[in-house]
A and B are shown apart, each in its own frame.
Chain A
Amino acid sequence: MENAKIIELIKKVTEERNEIAFSEIFDFIAPKINAYYIKNNLGIEQAEELTQEVLSTIWLKADLFDPEKSKFITWSFTIARNKKIDFYRKNKKNDINEDDIRDFLYENNKTNDYEIESTIKKITQELDESQKKLIKMSFFEQKSHKNIAAELEIPLGTVKSRIRSSLNKMQKHIL
């Protein structure tokens, strides 16, 4: 779905609490979120529970989303990632509420997703397919270097050095 179309739907959710608009957002994003959790090795039931939490958050905090500043896909990805982090941190007895911090950082972040598009383009052009795959497995699917080595049938040292060189390439563009 186009970003512009989703922004329109989100606006309906925020302003009118429009459930039909929300159901369209759900149909677009829920399967991706569910797939993300399954890719990250969560069980089917757990994946759906977390997907529900993400969608509930989208429904509840739709007014936090700033379409001028961020793309919907990035915003919803960060919510999904945060729910996964919280899931692994079961004991919540600490001084600081991370969810509040994340919302606060989002509201106060001066970076604009649209301004950094060219930087991302340059990075993706510079990385070859195997490097992109390693970044994806390591940071998106959160596989250990050891598991990546086993899955791709390449030595552990090669995995480490390739990831390192990909990160170095990225660094040139984001300094």
Chain B
Amino acid sequence: MNTTAQKNELIFDYSSGNLGEAKSLFASMYLYLNTIAAKKASVFDNMLAQNFNELEGIEPKKLRYTDCIKTPESLKQNKNPSNNPLSRLIGDFNNIDWKTIYKGFKEFNILVNDNDSVKLIKMDPGTSVPLHSHNGKEYILVLDGSFCDEYGEYNKGDMQINDQKIKHNPTACNSKGCVCLSITENDVVFFGKFGSALNLFTFIKSFFK
């Protein structure tokens, strides 16, 4: 499965500001945890900045430099964050108000203004997700521990992108279990023994969104 191109696309879209809030947050985490991804983003940022540097300037008509020294209050508040703003996503996972979906599998939804949904997923060691595929794309980033599926093993900072063509059966394979950040564009489609019940569950759940 070669998703390198898709991963790069996410990085390029992040650099150009094309992403919605959900994917933007996801990409931030990816760049934070994965040095290679951060390097790719820097390359692309610098390429776009070259275009910026070559732009023929258009003088602002009214704006003077003195207008910019008067700092708006809204900007002052954000100055130099002392704490890690991502700590909620990577901090102490025991302090999160997890919602148990089934034994060994918990979720926590993150509120964003986007059609894509973002959630944290926590799987206890050995827990599996039944074989499923996805109507839309699903992005998974490992924040802690690791999981394996038919395509390989994914450790902290690794990302997996799944679409309609991919059926998989992920299992938390590390003794620590696994915490992931997940973005789904659409609900997943389950197969196998419990498949129809789980599909029905997602179907019913959709009424309460």
Seen from chain A, the residues whose Cβ lies within 8 Å of a Cβ on chain B are 19, 22-23, 26-27, 30-32, 34-36, 38-39, 44, 47-48, 51-53, 55-61, 63-64, 71, 73-74, 77-78, 80-82, 84-85, 89, 91, 93-105, 108-111, 113, 116-117, 119-120, 123-124, 135-136, 138-140, 142, 167-168, 170-171, 173-175
Residues of B within 8 A of A120 (CB): 43, 46-47, 50
Nearest CB in chain B: distance from A134 CB, A: 12
Nearest CB in chain A: distance from B18 CB, A: 7
Residue of B21, B35, B68 near A56 (CB, 8 A) is: B68
Q: Known pairs A85-B17, A116-B43. 14 more at Cβ < 8 A?
A: A22-B65, A34-B57, A55-B65, A56-B69, A58-B68, A71-B46, A81-B17, A98-B21, A167-B8, A170-B44, A171-B4, A171-B8, A173-B43, A174-B39
Assuming the A-B contacts A103-B81, A111-B42, A119-B43, are A80 and B52 also in contact, with contact meaning beta carbons closer than 8 angstroms in the complex? yes
Residues of B within 8 A of A100 (CB): 78, 81, 85
User: A139 near B12 (CB under 8 angstroms)?
Assistant: yes
CA distance A119 to B79 in the complex (A): 33
Nearest CB in chain B: distance from A166 CB, A: 10
User: B59 near A78 (CB under 8 angstroms)?
Assistant: no
- Residues 40-59 (chain B) with a chain A CB within 8 angstroms: 40-53, 55-59
Residues of B within 8 A of A101 (CB): 25, 28, 85-86
Indicate whether B60 reaches chain A with its CB closer than 8 angstroms: yes
Stretch from B110-118, B134-142, B143-151, B197-205 forming part of the interface with A: B110-118
Nearest CB in chain A: distance from B70 CB, A: 8
Residue of A19, A30, A55, A103 near B80 (CB, 8 A) is: A103
We find that the number of chain B residues with CB closer than 8 angstroms to chain A is: 64
User: A94 near B113 (CB under 8 angstroms)?
Assistant: yes
Residue of B24, B40, B47 near A85 (CB, 8 A) is: B24
Indicate whether B61 reaches chain A with its CB closer than 8 angstroms: yes
Indicate whether B131 reaches chain A with its CB closer than 8 angstroms: no
Q: Can you list 27 A-B contacts with CB-CB less than 8 angstroms, sorted by A residue number?
A: A23-B65, A26-B65, A30-B57, A30-B59, A34-B57, A35-B57, A36-B52, A36-B55, A55-B68, A60-B71, A60-B75, A71-B49, A73-B49, A73-B52, A74-B45, A77-B52, A94-B113, A96-B110, A98-B25, A100-B78, A101-B25, A102-B28, A104-B84, A104-B86, A138-B16, A167-B12, A175-B36
Assuming the A-B contacts A140-B16, A142-B18, are A44 and B61 also in contact, with contact meaning beta carbons closer than 8 angstroms in the complex? yes
B63-78 interface code vs A (CB 8 A; 1 in, 0 out): 1011111111001101
